[in-house]
A = this chain, B = another copy of it.
Amino acid sequence: MPTFTALQLIDLTARLFEAAGAPPAVARQVGASLVEANLTGHESHGVIRAVQYVRAIERGQINPRAELEVLRETPTTALLDAHWGFGQIAARRGMELAIAKARQHHLAAVGLRNSAHIGRLGEYVLMAAEQGLIGFMTCNSSLLVAPHGGVDRVFGTNPVAFAIPGGRQPFLTDFATSACAEGKLRVAQARDRSVPAGWILDRDRRPTTNPSDFYDGGVILPLGGHKGYGLLLMADLLGGALTGHGCTALPEHTSGNGVFMMAIDVEAFCPLAELASAIDRLFEHIKAGNRAPDCEEILIPGEPEMRSKAQRERDGIELPETTWRELVEAARQFGLREGLDHAAMT
């Protein structure tokens, strides 16, 4: 597979978004967010999305020059309307606002409506943790997942993400509240592999382990039955109902993500150094524990992402040939030429 540096991919995607109408700073930030997903090992939220975003701009679903509007604001809360700008821009601005408010008032919550796809939530909650705050975030998304006991698509895969600043490493968890993320089905399908029982039903609402059955009119199940169902609904109500973005299954929902995020000031409760010490000791204890036979190493949530990032910053980011070709074709469409020869870049 062709291999690129992060900077090369940020440059290329930024030029693409700029050519499609985005201001330079916006184009560069969206590119950087996509590449951050590639670096952390989440290809499904990486530069593979760039051409989708360009097509969404062409269809009028993303407005690359949208201005974020503050609809309601108090010292501790804000409701933002992204007016269908890039989700990465709106989500970062939302988390920046939450961080600023939490610095002043110890706690802040920001809702975001009419946002295009925000990508990987882990990026935004880590912004809080990097500044010594706890970050929380959830959002709804498009119709893919059944309620517990049901078989119709009612929810998105509605992720929740949570980051806590630590000592040697922060804690980061970021996952779909459905049994699986849709991206995992796509990967299994591409590799012709089956998926675990309990992830999906086929179009006739029978359990199946063939990922193609999902794309043929099937449905994803909630994580752990009624538990994931509770989280799916929580995300839909906070991200969709509270913000006015719309719950996924209701007519007012069109596309994109309705988002809810919070920042919490650690030092309102305890000195950061004390929290860091407890976290370091707990992580050490966990990692030194006995392992299951199929487990090579017990990892802390967020550790796989940090390791992937360190490795790919060093060795580069591999892209499937098809992803690269799509990017190049889109770039050529906009008359871009320079830097489209990956042989020269590897």
Contact = CB atoms under 8 A, between A and B. Distances in A.
Interface string A241-255: 111101101101000
A173 B242 contact: no
Interface in A246-291: 246-247, 249-250, 252, 262, 264-266, 268-270, 274-275, 278-279, 281-282, 285-286, 289-291
Interface residues of A, number: 80
Interface in A87-133: 105-109, 111
A57 interface: no
A95 to B, nearest CB: 15
Contacts of A205: 290, 292-293
A73 to B, nearest CB: 9
Contacts of A293: 205
A179 B223 CA distance: 11
A74 interface: yes
B76 A76 contact: yes
A233 to B, nearest CB: 6
A190 interface: no
A299 interface: yes
Contacts of A343: none
B105 A75 contact: yes
A175 interface: yes
Given A224-B179, A247-B278, A292 B151 contact: yes
A122 B292 CA distance: 33
B175 A227 contact: yes
Given A242-B275, A278-B241, A173 B231 contact: yes
A72 B270 CA distance: 9
Contact of A152 (B111, B151, B289): B289
30 contacts: A74-B268, A76-B268, A77-B106, A106-B109, A107-B108, A111-B269, A147-B298, A149-B292, A149-B298, A150-B289, A150-B292, A150-B295, A151-B291, A151-B292, A152-B289, A152-B290, A171-B233, A173-B230, A174-B230, A205-B292, A224-B228, A241-B275, A242-B270, A243-B269, A244-B269, A244-B274, A246-B278, A249-B282, A250-B278, A252-B278
Interface of A: 72, 74-77, 79, 105-109, 111, 134, 146-152, 154, 162, 164, 171, 173-175, 177, 179, 201, 205, 223-224, 226-231, 233-234, 236-238, 240-244, 246-247, 249-250, 252, 262, 264-266, 268-270, 274-275, 278-279, 281-282, 285-286, 289-293, 295, 297-301
